[in-house]
Amino acid sequence: MTAPNVDPSEDVLIARAVHGDADARRELFERFREAAYAAALRVTGRPEDALDVVQDAFIKAFESLAGFARGASFKTWLLRIVTNRALDLLRAAKVRRAASLDQRNDGQDRDGLPDPPARGDEYETPGAGLERMELGERLARAVASLPPEQRAVFALYADGELTYADIAKIVGIPIGTVMSRLFHARRRLTEMLGDLAPTMRRKD
């Protein structure tokens, strides 16, 4: 595994942030919020959930910053918290949805909660409605329809700055499994977005 590319000033910021320096914390937030949000959005599939995940992840990070190993990459550590939080949120939503379905099947009253948000499972097969969406929106929905473990790997792959070893570390799986999940995630996305093939040439 390669040594993380850690900006020396990052260690200084972290040391200040541990002691509650608000400016240092804000600087860390501003440096890494976009990467955190992008990963959270790719896993949760919903902007409002993604922003909640980012907030929770930064709060958790600042709470336990003293336990963060100096010289390690803050971004890798943060994205691990983000990914775990986002996956927890998906699991909780799945449990809520299952409970809600059970109640409906039992003919009982709903619990008063709003309908669980659509997580994209309904979009696994491309439909006529999907064709009206922009490429970015369709991609986001397609990513949101992947199995959660593939979504997490794809989200970290999409970040582009992490090494495959970082991704393996964050998700807690071997590199071979990272590659396999990534391969199947991409294959599934290509199948779902097949009609967009002409517009989806490599960007390089």
Partner 1 sequence: MALRDGPAAQWRMTAVTTRDCARQSDALTALREGRFDALTPDAVAAAEAHLNHCAACADKLGAARPVSASDPLVQAPRQPAAAQWRRAWAVIADRSPSVSSIWRAGRAGILRSAWTPLAAAAACVMMVVSWRFAAPPVESGLWSLAAAGDVRVLEMDVGEGVTAMVGDGPTVVWILEPEMDAPS
Residues that bind partner 1 (CB under 8 A): 1-2, 17-20, 22, 25-26, 29, 33-34, 37-38, 41-42, 47, 51, 54-55, 58-59, 62-67, 135-136, 139-140, 157-165, 167-168, 174-177, 179-180, 182-184, 186-187, 189-190, 193, 200-204
Q: Tell me whether residue 90 or residue 140 sits nearer to partner 1 (CB atom).
A: 140
Task: Give the DSSP letter string of the chain.
Answer: -PPP---HHHHHHHHHHHTT-HHHHHHHHHHHHHHHHHHHHHHH--HHHHHHHHHHHHHHHHHSGGGSPTTS-HHHHHHHHHHHHHHHHHHHHHHHHHHHHHHHHTTPPP-SPPPPPP-SGGGSS--TGGGGS-HHHHHHHHHHTS-HHHHHHHHHHHH-SS-HHHHHHHHTS-HHHHHHHHHHHHHHHHHHTGGGGGG-----
Q: Tell me whether residue 67 or residue 112 sits nearer to partner 1 (CB atom).
A: 67
Q: Please state the closest distance from residue 109 (CB atom) to partner 1, in A.
A: 33
Q: Please state the closest distance from residue 110 (CB atom) to partner 1, in A.
A: 30
Q: Tell me whether residue 97 or residue 130 sits nearer to partner 1 (CB atom).
A: 130
Q: Please state the closest distance from residue 89 (CB atom) to partner 1, in A.
A: 16
Q: Please state the closest distance from residue 8 (CB atom) to partner 1, in A.
A: 20
